[in-house]
Amino acid sequence: MVRASPLWRWASWALVMVALAGAGYLWAVRSARTDQPAAVPPAPVRLEAQQTRLVVRHEGRPQVDLQAQRVEVSPDLMSATLEDVRRAVVFREGQEFLYVRARRIVLNRQTQNFVATGGVEVTSPKGDWLKAPELVYHNDRAVLSFPRGVEFQLGKTRARVRSLRYFVKQDVVEMDGGVDLQLDVRELSSPQPSPTVRP
Protein backbone atom coordinates (compact mmCIF):
# COMPACT_ATOMS: atom_id res chain seq x y z
CA MET A 1 0.00 0.00 0.00
CA VAL A 2 1.40 3.29 -1.09
CA ARG A 3 0.79 6.25 1.08
CA ALA A 4 -0.30 9.45 -0.57
CA SER A 5 1.96 12.37 -0.09
CA PRO A 6 0.75 15.18 2.17
CA LEU A 7 0.43 17.41 -0.89
CA TRP A 8 -1.86 14.91 -2.59
CA ARG A 9 -3.97 14.59 0.59
CA TRP A 10 -4.23 18.34 0.88
CA ALA A 11 -5.22 18.67 -2.80
CA SER A 12 -7.81 15.88 -2.48
CA TRP A 13 -9.23 17.44 0.68
CA ALA A 14 -9.38 20.84 -1.07
CA LEU A 15 -11.16 19.32 -4.06
CA VAL A 16 -13.71 17.61 -1.78
CA MET A 17 -14.30 20.89 0.07
CA VAL A 18 -14.74 22.77 -3.23
CA ALA A 19 -17.17 20.09 -4.41
CA LEU A 20 -19.11 20.27 -1.15
CA ALA A 21 -19.14 24.08 -1.28
CA GLY A 22 -20.35 23.94 -4.88
CA ALA A 23 -23.07 21.44 -4.01
CA GLY A 24 -24.11 23.59 -1.05
CA TYR A 25 -24.28 26.68 -3.27
CA LEU A 26 -26.40 24.90 -5.87
CA TRP A 27 -28.72 23.53 -3.17
CA ALA A 28 -29.09 27.05 -1.65
CA VAL A 29 -29.87 28.63 -4.99
CA ARG A 30 -32.36 25.91 -5.93
CA SER A 31 -34.18 26.08 -2.59
CA ALA A 32 -34.23 29.89 -2.73
CA ARG A 33 -35.97 29.65 -6.10
CA THR A 34 -38.59 27.22 -4.86
CA ASP A 35 -39.18 29.08 -1.58
CA GLN A 36 -40.14 32.30 -3.37
CA PRO A 37 -43.40 32.44 -5.29
CA ALA A 38 -42.88 32.55 -9.01
CA ALA A 39 -43.00 36.06 -10.36
CA VAL A 40 -46.32 36.50 -12.14
CA PRO A 41 -46.17 39.06 -14.91
CA PRO A 42 -48.68 41.81 -14.38
CA ALA A 43 -51.83 41.66 -16.46
CA PRO A 44 -51.50 43.90 -19.52
CA VAL A 45 -53.36 47.16 -19.46
CA ARG A 46 -56.62 46.94 -21.34
CA LEU A 47 -58.17 50.12 -22.70
CA GLU A 48 -61.89 49.96 -23.32
CA ALA A 49 -64.62 52.57 -23.69
CA GLN A 50 -68.39 52.14 -23.90
CA GLN A 51 -70.79 54.31 -25.94
CA THR A 52 -67.97 56.27 -27.50
CA ARG A 53 -67.94 59.27 -29.78
CA LEU A 54 -64.66 60.23 -31.40
CA VAL A 55 -64.06 63.22 -33.65
CA VAL A 56 -60.82 63.31 -35.65
CA ARG A 57 -59.79 66.77 -36.82
CA HIS A 58 -57.00 68.01 -39.06
CA GLU A 59 -56.10 71.68 -38.88
CA GLY A 60 -59.36 72.29 -37.02
CA ARG A 61 -61.57 70.71 -39.68
CA PRO A 62 -63.42 67.45 -38.92
CA GLN A 63 -62.21 64.40 -40.83
CA VAL A 64 -64.26 61.66 -39.12
CA ASP A 65 -67.03 61.77 -36.52
CA LEU A 66 -67.44 58.24 -35.20
CA GLN A 67 -69.94 56.72 -32.76
CA ALA A 68 -69.43 53.16 -31.51
CA GLN A 69 -71.01 51.09 -28.76
CA ARG A 70 -67.61 49.81 -27.63
CA VAL A 71 -63.96 50.56 -28.43
CA GLU A 72 -61.05 48.42 -27.21
CA VAL A 73 -57.34 49.05 -27.73
CA SER A 74 -54.96 46.06 -27.64
CA PRO A 75 -52.44 45.84 -24.77
CA ASP A 76 -49.58 46.61 -27.17
CA LEU A 77 -51.54 49.65 -28.44
CA MET A 78 -51.10 48.41 -32.03
CA SER A 79 -54.74 47.70 -32.86
CA ALA A 80 -58.13 49.09 -32.01
CA THR A 81 -61.42 47.21 -32.27
CA LEU A 82 -64.66 49.12 -32.65
CA GLU A 83 -67.89 47.23 -32.00
CA ASP A 84 -71.35 48.23 -33.24
CA VAL A 85 -70.31 51.29 -35.23
CA ARG A 86 -73.72 52.92 -35.54
CA ARG A 87 -72.56 55.95 -37.45
CA ALA A 88 -69.27 57.23 -38.75
CA VAL A 89 -69.35 60.43 -40.76
CA VAL A 90 -66.45 60.93 -43.17
CA PHE A 91 -65.86 64.55 -44.18
CA ARG A 92 -64.38 65.94 -47.38
CA GLU A 93 -63.32 69.58 -47.37
CA GLY A 94 -65.31 70.17 -44.18
CA GLN A 95 -68.58 68.78 -45.60
CA GLU A 96 -70.25 65.45 -44.82
CA PHE A 97 -69.17 63.09 -47.59
CA LEU A 98 -70.01 59.52 -46.49
CA TYR A 99 -71.82 57.73 -43.66
CA VAL A 100 -70.51 54.31 -42.57
CA ARG A 101 -72.01 51.56 -40.38
CA ALA A 102 -70.58 48.17 -39.43
CA ARG A 103 -70.83 45.67 -36.61
CA ARG A 104 -67.05 45.54 -36.18
CA ILE A 105 -64.02 47.46 -37.39
CA VAL A 106 -60.45 46.38 -36.56
CA LEU A 107 -57.75 48.97 -37.23
CA ASN A 108 -54.01 48.34 -37.22
CA ARG A 109 -52.69 51.59 -35.78
CA GLN A 110 -49.18 51.06 -37.21
CA THR A 111 -50.11 50.29 -40.82
CA GLN A 112 -53.49 52.09 -40.85
CA ASN A 113 -54.97 48.97 -42.51
CA PHE A 114 -58.47 48.06 -41.37
CA VAL A 115 -61.16 45.43 -41.79
CA ALA A 116 -64.87 46.20 -41.37
CA THR A 117 -67.27 43.26 -41.02
CA GLY A 118 -70.92 42.57 -40.36
CA GLY A 119 -73.50 44.48 -42.34
CA VAL A 120 -71.15 47.11 -43.73
CA GLU A 121 -73.15 50.02 -45.14
CA VAL A 122 -71.82 53.16 -46.78
CA THR A 123 -74.21 55.93 -47.89
CA SER A 124 -73.78 59.43 -49.26
CA PRO A 125 -75.86 62.59 -48.85
CA LYS A 126 -76.71 62.27 -52.58
CA GLY A 127 -78.42 58.90 -52.00
CA ASP A 128 -75.66 56.64 -53.30
CA TRP A 129 -75.19 53.50 -51.21
CA LEU A 130 -73.09 50.38 -50.82
CA LYS A 131 -73.70 47.18 -48.80
CA ALA A 132 -71.23 44.38 -48.15
CA PRO A 133 -70.44 41.70 -45.57
CA GLU A 134 -66.76 42.77 -45.42
CA LEU A 135 -64.61 45.72 -46.40
CA VAL A 136 -60.78 45.59 -46.28
CA TYR A 137 -58.43 48.58 -46.66
CA HIS A 138 -54.69 48.19 -47.35
CA ASN A 139 -53.16 51.58 -46.68
CA ASP A 140 -49.70 50.82 -48.13
CA ARG A 141 -51.28 50.07 -51.54
CA ALA A 142 -54.26 52.42 -51.08
CA VAL A 143 -56.66 49.63 -52.08
CA LEU A 144 -60.19 49.30 -50.74
CA SER A 145 -61.57 45.83 -51.41
CA PHE A 146 -64.77 43.87 -50.92
CA PRO A 147 -63.60 40.24 -51.07
CA ARG A 148 -66.96 38.68 -50.12
CA GLY A 149 -69.16 40.59 -52.55
CA VAL A 150 -70.80 43.98 -52.67
CA GLU A 151 -73.99 45.60 -53.89
CA PHE A 152 -74.10 49.31 -54.64
CA GLN A 153 -75.97 52.13 -56.33
CA LEU A 154 -74.28 55.21 -57.78
CA GLY A 155 -76.80 57.61 -59.23
CA LYS A 156 -79.15 55.44 -61.27
CA THR A 157 -76.61 52.68 -61.84
CA ARG A 158 -76.89 49.56 -59.67
CA ALA A 159 -74.47 46.67 -59.47
CA ARG A 160 -73.84 43.45 -57.60
CA VAL A 161 -70.46 41.66 -57.84
CA ARG A 162 -68.62 38.85 -56.07
CA SER A 163 -65.41 40.87 -55.61
CA LEU A 164 -64.54 44.54 -56.03
CA ARG A 165 -61.27 46.44 -55.60
CA TYR A 166 -60.96 50.21 -55.65
CA PHE A 167 -57.46 51.56 -56.26
CA VAL A 168 -57.74 54.92 -54.54
CA LYS A 169 -54.67 56.70 -56.01
CA GLN A 170 -55.47 55.64 -59.58
CA ASP A 171 -59.23 56.09 -59.08
CA VAL A 172 -59.75 52.70 -60.76
CA VAL A 173 -62.36 50.03 -59.91
CA GLU A 174 -61.96 46.32 -60.72
CA MET A 175 -64.96 44.00 -60.47
CA ASP A 176 -64.72 40.21 -60.66
CA GLY A 177 -67.16 37.34 -60.79
CA GLY A 178 -70.85 37.43 -61.56
CA VAL A 179 -71.05 41.15 -62.33
CA ASP A 180 -74.71 42.17 -62.47
CA LEU A 181 -74.92 45.75 -63.72
CA GLN A 182 -78.11 47.75 -64.30
CA LEU A 183 -77.89 51.03 -66.20
CA ASP A 184 -80.61 53.57 -66.87
CA VAL A 185 -79.80 54.28 -70.53
CA ARG A 186 -82.41 57.04 -70.73
CA GLU A 187 -79.92 59.26 -68.89
CA LEU A 188 -77.00 58.46 -71.21
CA SER A 189 -76.30 60.74 -74.16
CA SER A 190 -76.37 59.31 -77.67
CA PRO A 191 -73.03 58.83 -79.36
CA GLN A 192 -72.12 61.52 -81.85
CA PRO A 193 -70.46 60.78 -85.19
CA SER A 194 -66.73 61.46 -85.27
CA PRO A 195 -65.91 64.72 -87.11
CA THR A 196 -63.11 63.02 -89.09
CA VAL A 197 -65.33 60.29 -90.55
CA ARG A 198 -67.48 61.38 -93.52
CA PRO A 199 -70.14 59.19 -95.13
In the chain, where the domains are located: 47-186
Domain covering 47-186 in this structure, CATH number:
2.60.450.10
CA-based angle 74:98:102, to the nearest 5?
A: 40
pLDDT in tens, 2-24: 343 343 344 333 333 433 333 34
Asked whether 117 and 133 are in contact (CB, 8 A), the reply is yes
pLDDT in tens, 21-67: 333 433 444 454 555 555 666 667 778 888 888 787 888 888 888 88
Alpha-helical segments (H) within the chain? 6-35
